[in-house]
Amino acid sequence: MNLYHLLANSAQRPKTHKASQDDVEKLLRGFAAFRSASWFNRFIALVGILLAYQNNLIQEIGYWGAAYALYLCTTIVCDRVIRRRTQEEIQQNIYVWQNCFVAELCGRALMMSSYAFIFLPKFSAPEAAVISFAVIFVAFATSHIEAMWSYTVGIRGLRLFLILLIVPTTLAWMISPLTGHFLFSLVTLFVLWVCELLGRANIEKAEYRERVEHQLAGAAAQLEIANTAKTRLLVEASHDLRQPVHALEMLVSLLRTETQKTPFAQRVSNIQSSVNTLSDMLTDLLDMSRLDDGKYSPKLEPTQLFPLMLDIESSYVGLAQRKGLALVVKPSNVWIQTDPVMLQRVLNNILVNAIKYTQKGRITVSCSAHEKMLWIHVRDTGIGMEKEKIDQIFSDYTRLDEARSEHGYGIGLAVVKRMIDVLGCTIRVVSDHGKGSVFSLGCPYAAQTFEETKPNSTQLNTDVSLAGTAICLIENDPLIRLTTEEMLITMGIAVVSGASAQEVLSSALKREISPDLVLADMHLDEGVNGLQAIEQLRDSFGLSELPAILITGDLDRGLQALAAQMRVDVVYKPVRSVTLRDMITHHVR
């Protein structure tokens, strides 16, 4: 095999190989390592020229110096050319540049070994020893630079480099008249073998490390795919589950209204409690999947805390009283910068958690100012927890031993932590095992000051009469449409329902009803969605400002933005009857 074929075959990849970006980066690292070692070789060449000059070998210096100058010029030109090439250009001709790299390595080896071959037989023993040790040092040092071998030309390139460096030096000792020349020639061959072993070990170590890195990257990618699939499964499963749970919520609300003064009232109340628990669990799963999928973006705005806290009180005072607990809410008129819907979800979860794990005593919700933030404190006299377990409560699917007797599966506070991070708030927990806990939520103040308004008696009245209100209900699921219609009728609302906008419009015209509000499901028949149906009714009645509520289980990030542009409120399934009543009251009173 001639030198050309040896050089060509030293590259690890065939000519038809389509190089990757990683291949280009490895080759460039190899060139960089090659350049970084050049100064030492030039220093050795300078020392060798001085030794030859002392021995008056002027003609030999001239020949070898000319060859070395030619080699330097070639490497400089090659270096400048590759620096001017883009990575894409190098990638297209990776085979050429790999062999160019091998040629430079071989040129460096030949320059060193040719010096030894020419001058060593003419030197004295000490001078010959210096040159030999310099060559040996270059061999050892170069074989340890794994970037020059592991990422470019591999063991074949290293072997070729060592042969061209060591063999001429060995031959020089064999023809040398110096004493012990045969022993020195054997030493150089031994160095060749040792350097190849060292280089092979370094190359194998680097290749093993690279394989492990690729495996780790692949495993990380698989984990990301699995996590995405898990999140998508949660989203799809919760979407499919929300529909029947929403229907169950409407049925139980209707049943509770009809059995208030019957012996079945307590049983229905128990059913309602179980449905509420199921609804809360499903909502937590929904929120967690939306947060993990990046589909729950906060809408930060100046928010007055007073009505929000009163709403929380009205929502949970009954639940607390049924457990024999006192719920004390001390509202504040302060304005904070937050997403009111998301903040209410956070406070709801914390408050439900406090009620769940408190058997006697009271739960207090209060506010204080500290560290340029407004802090909302939820104090309970419940079971508490040990200090070392506080950090665990915000982990996914984590339930402490003290909480095993309660319903749930440990994601309520995990959702709280995610929402707090999204809102840019801070949460602190102080707990004393057996005595209770304090959850403190820190929120930034609103940048703009607003007029403080305390709710009047009308605002505090949660039982505003809806008699005389007319609502158009668009729902393609017959069971949900029937139960929702009956539930609305118990509120004193006149309902016109149908599976489509055309059906609702026809019924409304026959009954000569002008709606005060439209209530529509998102996914309807024949490819029509709820927003389109709402727009059709607004156009048909000539009421461009007709209030509307969209009920959906769709988590599409753009849906809420589109609904906001159309002045449509969005509520996610499952919807409690009290929530639906509050939204209707807000629009029509």
Within 10 Å of residue 404's Cβ, how many Cβ atoms?
Answer: 7
Task: Write out the chain's pLDDT in tens, 589 residues.
Answer: 443 343 344 444 444 445 666 667 777 776 776 666 666 667 777 777 777 777 787 887 787 778 778 877 877 787 777 777 777 777 777 777 777 777 777 777 777 777 777 777 777 777 777 777 777 777 666 655 544 555 555 667 777 777 777 777 778 777 777 666 677 777 777 777 777 777 777 777 777 877 888 888 888 888 888 877 776 776 666 667 777 888 888 888 888 777 777 877 778 877 877 777 777 777 777 777 777 766 667 778 888 888 888 888 877 887 888 888 999 999 888 899 998 878 888 898 899 889 988 989 999 999 998 878 899 999 999 888 888 888 788 876 666 555 444 554 556 788 888 888 888 899 999 998 888 999 999 999 887 655 444 444 334 344 567 888 999 999 998 888 998 898 899 888 999 999 999 999 999 999 989 999 999 999 898 888 999 999 999 999 999 889 999 998 776 667 877 888 899 988 888 887 877 888 888 887 6
pLDDT of amino acid 295: 64
For residues 264 and 538, give the distance between their C-alpha atoms in angstroms, rounded to a whole number. Answer: 42
Give the residue from 587, 588, 589, 580 showing the smallest Cα distance to 484: 580
pLDDT of amino acid 142: 64
pLDDT of amino acid 429: 92
Bond from prior residue into 574 cis (ω within 30 degrees of 0)? yes
Could you tell me which residues come within 8 angstroms of residue 448 by beta carbon, excluding any fewer than 6 positions away? 302, 335
Q: Is the dihedral of CA 530, 555, 481, 549 positive or negative?
A: negative
Give the HSE-up count for residue 331: Cα atoms under 13 Å, Cβ half-sphere: 17
Could you tell me which residues come within 8 angstroms of residue 279 by beta carbon, excluding any fewer than 6 positions away? 245, 249, 574, 576
pLDDT of amino acid 16: 42
Which amino acid, one-letter code, is at 141? A
Within 10 Å of residue 117's Cβ, how many Cβ atoms?
Answer: 19
Backbone angles phi, psi at 185, to 5 degrees: -65, -40
pLDDT of amino acid 473: 95
| Chain segment 457-489, per-residue pLDDT in tens | 334 344 567 888 999 999 998 888 998 898 899
Buried b (16+ CB within 10 A) or exposed e, 356-375: bbbeeeebbbbbeeeeebbb
Give the number of residues written for the chain: 589
Write out the two tokens for 1: 């095999």
Beta strands in 54-182 (DSSP E): none
In whole angstroms, how far apart are CA 358 and each of 205, 362, 397?
Answer: 59, 8, 21
Which amino acid, one-letter code, is at 289? S
pLDDT of amino acid 160: 76
- Angle between helical axes of 21-36 and 58-84 (0-180°, round to 10): 150
pLDDT of amino acid 555: 63
Query: If you compute the radius of gyration of the chain from its CA atoms, what whole number of angstroms results?
Result: 40
Q: How far apart are the first and last CA of the chain?
A: 96
